[in-house]
Each structure stands twice: as C-alpha cells, then as structure tokens.
Structure 1
C-alpha cells in the first residue's frame, strides 16, 4: 500500500490522505441513504482506470461493464454496499471525491445540472421551462458547485430510463440520468468543494414533476402524417380564451404557455398583441404581459415582440 500511496502522490501532487478519508466518509454517508457511489479524482472523473486499457476488448460484442469482476468500469462499479465502497476507495487512494450514480434503485436519481459557465442564466431558463410546461420544482436536495452552479436531485419512475443530455432542454441545463453520475456533496476538485445548499441536506430527493419528466424523455418520432389544424387553432382563438379564463395567481403562467404554443405553431407574431390584450383584461399590466410574451418568443427560438 505504501508503494501505491507514493505512486498516487507522484501523480497527484496536491493530494492528501485527509482528502481521501473525507471523501470516503461522505461516500459512505451517501451509501447509507441507498445511493450507489464511485470514487472520483480531483478532475471529477472516475478515479479507477479501466482494467481493459492495455488489452483492448474485441470489437465484436458490447463493452465490458464490470462482468469481468474487476474494478475500473466507471459508473457501472457504483455500489451502496459499504464493504464495496471501502474496497473501491482502497484501490484509489488518490480519490478526493465521489460520484453518485443516477437511474439506479431505490431512488432512480435524476440530476438537473444548472451550469454557470456557458454565459447563460440557466436558472432563468429553468423558470421559463416551468412556466411553459406548467410545473414547479418541489423542495429537494440541491448541491452547489464550486463555480456557483446547482445540481437539483429528483427521482424518476422505476420503469423509465431518463437519458443524459447537455443543453437539450435549454442552454446551460444538463441532465444526468441512466448511465450518468452526479458529483457528491463534500467532494474536493481542482476548482473547489461541492456542498449541499443550506436547508436541503436532510431532504429526500423529490419526485420529478410529470410535466418535466415528459420533456426529459427522448422526443417521439415524428408522425408520417399530421392532421390539419382546425380553423380555431389556425387563428389562435382557443389560446386567447385560455388566457382570458385565467384566475389570479395563474395569469402569467397561462399567458406564457399560450404564447409558447402560438410561436411553436407559427402564429406568434400575429397573435402576440391579442394575447397581450387578453392578459391585460385579466389584470396583468401591459408591461408584464409584453415581457411574458417576449420571454416565450425567446424560449421557442423566435423573434420577440417589440
């Protein structure tokens, strides 16, 4: 083990035994909650290298995902068994963090990664998505990254595999699903420490809202034929009535949803002013209504209102 430690320190000059001890303690705590974990290096990558790196696997057949019985298969090594977790960290004494595998029972974790490094406001983008699709993020575990980003922990259905994606929902919003992992709180990286946001450490991961789950899944294949829209849909009368029927507390949400549908169907520029007038009739100010419609135009990649 002493030889391994010297080798590890040579490869990782900033490493200390204390960092590994802390990472292991945090990983074992996560495992107690039923979360499957793996050791990570300071670069946030799996700390154990593939056992097949010097003997490439034959091109035929699927790649080994741990069937060989050795460590080094990344997220496929993840375990909530304390003995297995200790074994992995013993094999990677340079580890300074841990990853939490997504999509595995009992939690079937789904991670919403709100990035800050893309120059976009991912938190605003998530709020606009929530308005557009009529969902709210329930109280749940939130992990703050060294760069100021946030990881929201949600749980998915056991029979649905949520795919990983990068900026598919909106710029700066990544999704960690089946086959992916989240950097666990307490992990130390080259850029700092991951920490649980105040007041969320003891919360269980909240169920993913059904409307959000719908957009996290791969888009369905386009139909070969599409029914022609009705005259009412063509002119947007139904969307206007939807806004006019809004009660206090749902006026902005209904306007945003209707404006998104209008722009998605190519009638946004024509319908924006009637929608604004309908929203004003329900009690929104012209400025509020115009701002909401402009947000919908941006969200759907269309040109905003003037």
Structure 2
C-alpha cells in the first residue's frame, strides 16, 4: 500500500506540474479531495484568519502557485497527497468551474441545458473533466475584473460553481472514490470564455448598502490590511472583495483612496486598480 501511495503521489505531482506549465495555480490534495498540507494553525485557539501571511504552508487554496519549485516543496510537505487542486479565479485564466453533480438525484446536465435555452446562451467547447461519480467539471474563464463566488445548488439543483477562493480537482488525481480524467477530445482545448448571460447568473445580486460608518473604523482598516497582505495572483481578487465589502457597508467612497494606495503598494497598476474598484462599485449597485 505504501508503494502504491508513493506512486500515486509521484503521478499527482507530475500532473500538477503539467497544469503549472499551462499557467494554472495548483495545490496538493489528499484522497479525501481536501488540501493535503495541514494547517500550521490547527492547534491554535480560536479561528486563524491567516491566509499565508505567516510564510508557512498549510493555508489551503491560498498556497496555490504556478512556481514549479514551490509545488515540489508543497508535495514534499505532504507525501500522502494523491491528487492536486486547481485554484479558480486567478490569472491568467480566472477559471470558473461548473460542477455538474450526479449525487443529488437530479439531472444536472439537463438543468444546465434548460438554463441555456431560457437565458439564450451556449456552452462553448472547453475542457471537461470526468469525476469518479459520473459527474463532469466544465472549465470556463471569466473577466479579470469580475469575481465569481463559489455556490452550491444556487444556479440549479446539482450544479455547483467553483469561483474565487475555490478549487477544482485536477485530472489525473486519485481519490477514495476513483480517478479524475479529462474527457476524450477536450484535453488539448483551452478553457473557453464564460458566456456573458451565464456569467450574469453566477454573480450575486447587488446588496442594499448599510448605513454609513466612519472609514477610520476597525472594519475599514481591516479591509485595507486585507489588500496589503495579498500575494501575487491574489491582488486583484482581494482588492475587488475588499471594495465590495466597503461599498456594502457604506464606506466605499471614504475607503477609495486607502484601498487604491494599498493596491499600488502590492504592485498593481493604478489603471487596473481603479477599474477593479469601479467594478466593485457597479456590482454593489453604486456609481463608480
């Protein structure tokens, strides 16, 4: 069994490095499909808000990287890994995973076809990954300035969405229930752009702003710090998330300059940062 596990780990690492060559950020997964590297804060009292700022491995999808040396180090830290996860929402693809499940007792493929007919969109040819349970993962790409959230069954019963902060089990991974594999004829395809009509369905409706709060408060400082602590590959996503929360809490205009300065400090281009904040304003029902 130990030899089989070592072979599975070696194979998973090889597949993960192939994904990295395509520009996909990955993490090692265990047979349970959970991140294989254990949290360095697991014995700490109370919840640990650290998303990798401590510099150690074990922060789930926040460990995801396209650096081959870092991926080898991650797998070395988890020799029991038998698969890998592909982080969604990160450049260059800003991947969106459409998970068509079979365990819910519903025909999720038929539900997606019905949505496509009702909202006038077509799923383009793209990468399709077959799951051990008979389900399918469709790989789509989103705009760089739009953050698609994770959801389970919100689009339709049996359809889960993997967006920013989520991950897809990569083809070639082995789990307790079997192996994941690319559907024939799709391995060579690049992830296709998400149809605009489908993208609109994946985004949450605008929320009503809460009463204004002083920008100097702890919540405002926390949002600015959240942006400042972003690693490369997370900067746009974190800025968009923080700006959305600021506008939802009525402090968007007051936090505009601090958030912009924080984004510039992390290395984002000013034009890109302003566009991301403007997208957050529109998404939450405010004027940029």
- TM-score, normalised with respect to structure 2: 0.70
In structure 2, the CA distance between the partners of 1:97 and 1:75, relative to structure 1 (3 Å rule), is: same
Partner of residue 18, structure 2: 29
Measured in 1, the distance between the counterparts of 2:188 and 2:55 equals 35
Helix, strand or coil for the counterpart of 2:76?
helix
The CA RMSD over aligned residues, in Å, is: 1.6
Gaps of 5+ in 1: 1-8, 224-306
Measured in 2, the distance between the counterparts of 1:222 and 1:68 equals 35
Answering whether residue 166 of structure 2 is matched by residue 166 of structure 1, we say no
In structure 2, the CA distance between the partners of 1:212 and 1:130, relative to structure 1 (3 Å rule), is: same
2:123 aligned to 137, 147, 158, which one?
A: 137
Partner of residue 81, structure 1: 67
Task: Give, in angstroms, the shift of residue 16 of structure 1.
Answer: 1.7
Which 4+ residue blocks in structure 1 deviate beyond 6 angstroms? none
**Paired residues, what number?**
209
Partner of residue 31, structure 2: 42
Gaps of 5+ in 2: 210-288
Give per-residue Cα distances to partners, 1:100-147, cap 9 Å, x unaligned: 000000110000000000000000000000001100000000000001
Measured in 1, the distance between the counterparts of 2:28 and 2:177 equals 17
- In 2, are the aligned partners of 1:103 and 1:178 still within 8 Å (CA)? yes
1:52 aligned to 35, 41, 45, which one?
A: 41
Measured in 2, the distance between the counterparts of 1:174 and 1:151 equals 9
Give per-residue Cα distances to partners, 1:208-244, cap 9 Å, x unaligned: 0000000000023479xxxxxxxxxxxxxxxxxxxxx
Superposition map of 1:269-288 within 5 A: none
Partner of residue 216, structure 1: 202
1:196 aligned to 182, 196, 201, which one?
A: 182
**Structure (1 or 2) with the larger CA radius of gyration:** 1
Answering whether residue 58 of structure 2 is matched by residue 72 of structure 1, we say yes
1:151 aligned to 116, 120, 137, which one?
A: 137
Partner of residue 118, structure 1: 104
- In 2, are the aligned partners of 1:15 and 1:94 still within 8 Å (CA)? no
Task: Give, in angstroms, the shift of residue 14 of structure 1.
Answer: 9.0
